[in-house]
Amino acid sequence: MTAPWLTLIGIGEDGRGGLSPAALRLINHATFIMGGERHLELIGKSDSETRAWPKPFEQGIEIILARRGQSTVILASGDPFFYGVGATFARHIPPEEILTLPAPSAFSLMASRLGWAIQDCALLSLHGRPFERIAPHCQPHAKILSLTWDETTIHRVADYLVTHGMGESMIAIGQALGGPREQFIKKTAQAIHMTREKVDPLNTLGIEIKASRGARILPLTSGLEDDLFEHDGQITKREIRAITLSSLQPRQGQVLWDIGAGSGSVSIEWMLRHPANRAIAIEPRKDRAERILHNALSLGVPELHIVEGKAPEALSGLPSPDAIFIGGGGTDPDVIDAAWAALPDGCRLVANAVTIETQADLMRRHVVMGGTLSKIEVSRADPVGPFHGWRASMPVIQWVIVKGEEKRS
């Protein structure tokens, strides 16, 4: 069966008046129509069987799949494949069986009201997703278009910007865009923070960041300042971390295992390199695992997966890694052995060692297996009476190896 039987129709706040003749024809001839209650109200009375989307969401998918081959319409907001249900159904139904007629997305409508080029904006959804995801996007002069959860999201955004030194940022609120109820408000984050502006639950935000001196902006480079992380001293220091990220060579969509994660600094920076990157922080201590979660939320990567457990036992059943970093977990040779066994061909392992015993183990492995071995030493200027001198930190031995490229006996 390849002929389209399922039609995804994007609908705006202007209802039937904004639909194309083709979309109206498909709605009129459908045997079954499903959508949110608001969507069904927008099309008005229909001779077709209609049903509001059930809860939980998965029940609706089952209902649609049971009608395979019958003329079925799903109503969605704007573009069904832009933070919509389109991708969900494409995972269950071959694309050649789906016909999509999108309407302008909320992003398109908001950009048109502001005169912004969409390709120059960060596009973000805070609807049904962790709010903390906004943090990496708050860069000086950045323009952000964001879907919201409801009328409360605007206040969280304003409060966040004010708290982090970006209170002069402009926030535009597009309410019920594209319909008769449309309203548009444009104020600074500071003003919204002070007045607690009341808005329609159906709203989209346009944010133009203006950062004051000293604002908390996350740098785009690897090697964030250590004091951005909450830690108890168990942290890969900034300079070492920057080199470690370079050695790990993160690529879009890859998965990292961070064994002995400590403060989670390497995992967090791995995820900050690209929104599609994923990391699993394995940490045996409960207090440190809780600290990792706090750091992940604070630095805008709430999806960081934290496993509270001791390696190598805690590695069982985890998603396959593209890279593995061993920092705090390298004192046990069995951990390195287990990590290496779990690593797929073509993927890399990076291990840092501070203690002489672990350094000796890495040097032995380098002799036997190959890879690259580096000694990293960092010195910082510290006061010596009225003068300054170099105070060296403990040297770090770093072993980097790609599976499949090791020496063969």
pLDDT in tens, 90-108: 999 999 999 999 999 999 9
Report the pLDDT averaged over residues 9-23.
95
Mean pLDDT of 284-310: 97
Helix count and strand count (H, E) for the chain: 12, 19
Find where tokens 């950045």 sit: 142
Q: What is the pLDDT of residues 228-271, one digit of tens each?
A: 999 998 899 999 999 999 999 999 999 999 999 999 999 999 99
Burial of 176 (0-12, 13-18, 19+ CB in 10 A): middle
338 contact partners, CB below 8 Å, separation of at least 6: 311, 312, 315
pLDDT at 1 over 60: no
Please provide the DSSP assignment of 110-163 as one string: HHHHHT--GGGSEEEE-SSS-GGGGGGG--TT-EEEEE-SSTTHHHHHHHHHHH
pLDDT in tens, 323-379: 999 997 667 899 999 999 999 999 999 999 999 999 999 999 999 999 999 999 999
**CA–CA gap between residue 60 and residue 45 (Å, rounded):** 21
**Model confidence band, residue 408 (pLDDT cutoffs 50, 70, 90):** confident
Q: What pLDDT sits at residue 407?
A: 82
Going from the C-alpha of 404 to that of each of 151, 183, 249, 369, 400, the distances in angstroms are 53, 60, 17, 10, 13
Provide the pairing of β-strand 348-353 with 122-125. Answer: unpaired
Residue 32 pLDDT:
96
Residue 2: pLDDT band (50, 70, 90) is: low
Relative to beta strand 32-35, strand 72-77 is parallel
Give me 386's structure tokens. Answer: 């009225």
Q: Is the pLDDT of residue 73 over 80?
A: yes
Residues facing residue 9 across a β-bridge: 75, 101
Q: How confident is the model at residue 45 (pLDDT cuts 50, 70, 90)?
A: confident
Q: Count of residues for the chain?
A: 409
Q: Would you tell me how many other CB atoms lie within 10 Å of the CB of residue 394? A: 9
Cis preceding linkage at 56, omega within 30: yes
- Taking residues 290-315, report their average pLDDT: 97
What pLDDT score was predicted for residue 19? 95
Give the span between the Cα atoms of 116 and 356, in whole angstroms: 57
Could you tell me which of 274, 272, 278 has the C-alpha nearest to residue 299? 272
Token pair belonging to 312: 């190598």
Taking the C-alpha atoms of residue 324 and residue 349, their distance in angstroms, rounded to an integer, is 5
β-strands 170-175, 183-188: how paired? antiparallel
**pLDDT for 49:** 94
Q: Other C-beta atoms within 10 Å of 379: how many?
A: 10
Cβ–Cβ under 8 Å, residues 45 and 113: no
For the segment 170-189, the average pLDDT, to the nearest whole number, is 96
Peptide bond before residue 136 is cis, with ω within 30 degrees of 0: no
d(CA 372, CA 399): 6
Local confidence band at 409 (pLDDT 50, 70, 90 cut-offs): low
Note the pLDDT of residue 159.
97
Which DSSP state fits 316? T
- Helix, strand or coil, per DSSP, at residue 378: coil
How far apart CA 195 and CA 33 sit, in angstroms, is 42
pLDDT of residue 389: 97
For the entire predicted model, the pTM comes to 0.91
Instruction: For residue 295, name the pLDDT band (cuts at 50, 70, 90).
Output: very high
Instruction: Specify the long-range contacts of residues 375-383, CB closer than 8 Å, at least 24 apart.
Output: 376/239, 376/240, 376/243, 378/237, 378/239, 378/240
- Domains of the chain by range and CATH? 6-103 (3.40.1010.10), 107-208 (3.30.950.10), 226-402 (3.40.50.150)
CA 56 to chain centre: 24
pLDDT at 322 over 80: yes
